[in-house]
Amino acid sequence: MASTTSVNRAAGAASETVMELISGPVRPAVRIAAFPSALYLRLSTGDVIALLSRGAVRMPFGLVLATSSADFPLDGLGGPLTVGASEVRAGPWSVRVSRRLPVTAPVGLEPDPAAVDYAQHRLDTLECAAADQVVADIRMRVGPIRQLDDGLAHRMMGAGPGLTPAGDDFLAGLLVGAWSFGLVADPLRAAVLTRAPELTTEVSAALLRCACRGESLPELTSVLLSLAGRQAALDRALAALVQIGHTSGRALAAGVVRAAAMCVAPSGTGSAGRTSRPNSVAGR
């Protein structure tokens, strides 16, 4: 393992939200989970941020470093953890934000019916044996969706194993899709923001809060744009998304494709209402 204490300072890229979280006074932080490519921290405010190696899944609440996990494994960081004064510190090591990272998904997208139909069929062929049962369980739990309401949040949050359960990943994809495609989702957002802390993991709750604000992973944003007419790139975008995690990518993809399908459903089939712009439900 590469030494981590030999590096005194690093620079990274972060979203506006993460910059706000670390710009206040210095406070202690608690390690939630640690991997060579990602270190998840809970701030004293209850918010969660992640330190991410170059090449790690770019969580919207992350601070992305320029180093790789092979050169600088983040699970080797030791010492007291503090966040504030525009930096994250672990013992003698610290990282400061050097540039801003855009994470908000585009708005005003219009799903292309042919692309949506193709994506629905393509997802079946991209599933692998290891994830088949989890994905099948999520589909059964979801059932038909007539509106994005609190009942859906209660059925899905915390469903499945892992740091971000598949049910939460599905909801995150659905919420980001609702943001970009203009689906009415205020009841779902409100329920997620209220219930996530008690129904799922801290890391997953942080991802869901980001999704409520329309903050997305780069791979998820690529699928959004492909569903809105760039069908030639849809295969590549879906393939990149489903490779994330054990089941996370497939569940995220299923959620965003379901949101797109709700927009193109024929009148009278129970598709959710649409708004001219995403509703603003704030929350961290």
DSSP 122-146: HHHHH--HHHHHHHHHHHHHH---S
| Residue 108: inside a domain | no
* Tokens 């193709």 -> residue: 118
Instruction: Say if CB 169 and CB 255 are below 8 A apart.
Output: yes
Proportion of the chain above pLDDT 90, given as a percent? 63
Q: d(Cα 79, Cα 91) in Å, to the nearest integer?
A: 4
Query: Which residue type is seen at 194?
Result: T
Do 130 and 221 lie in a common domain? yes
CA-based max dimension of the chain? 63
Question: What is the token pair recorded at 277?
Answer: 């712009």
| Residue 106: inside a domain | no
User: How many structural domains does the chain have?
Assistant: 2
Do 125 and 255 lie in a common domain? yes
- Claim: this prediction has a pTM higher than 0.85: yes
Do 140 and 36 lie in a common domain? no
Instruction: Say if CB 65 and CB 4 are below 8 A apart.
Output: no
| Residue 184: inside a domain | yes
Sign of torsion over alpha carbons 214, 219, 221, 226: negative
Do 140 and 182 lie in a common domain? yes
User: Residue 121: what are its φ and ψ, rounded to 5°?
Assistant: -75, -35
Do 254 and 179 lie in a common domain? yes
Which of 5-14, 81-90, 243-252 shows the lowest mean pLDDT across its residues?
5-14
| Residue 283: inside a domain | no
Q: d(Cα 193, Cα 258) in Å, to the nearest integer?
A: 21
Over range 77-95, report the average pLDDT: 93
| Residue 276: inside a domain | no
Domain that holds residue 27: 9-100
Instruction: Convert the pLDDT of each residue in 111-157 to its tens digit.
Output: 999 999 999 888 877 655 555 666 677 777 776 677 788 888 888 89
Q: How many CA atoms lie within 13 A of 131 on its CB side?
A: 25
Give the model's pLDDT for residue 279. Answer: 45
Do 94 and 178 lie in a common domain? no
Do 50 and 189 lie in a common domain? no
Model confidence at 95: pLDDT above 60: yes
Bridge-partner residues for 38, per DSSP? 35, 52
Do 91 and 220 lie in a common domain? no
| Residue 139: inside a domain | yes
Do 44 and 136 lie in a common domain? no
| Residue 163: inside a domain | yes
Higher pLDDT, 102 or 231: 102
Q: d(Cα 90, Cα 88) in Å, to the nearest integer?
A: 7
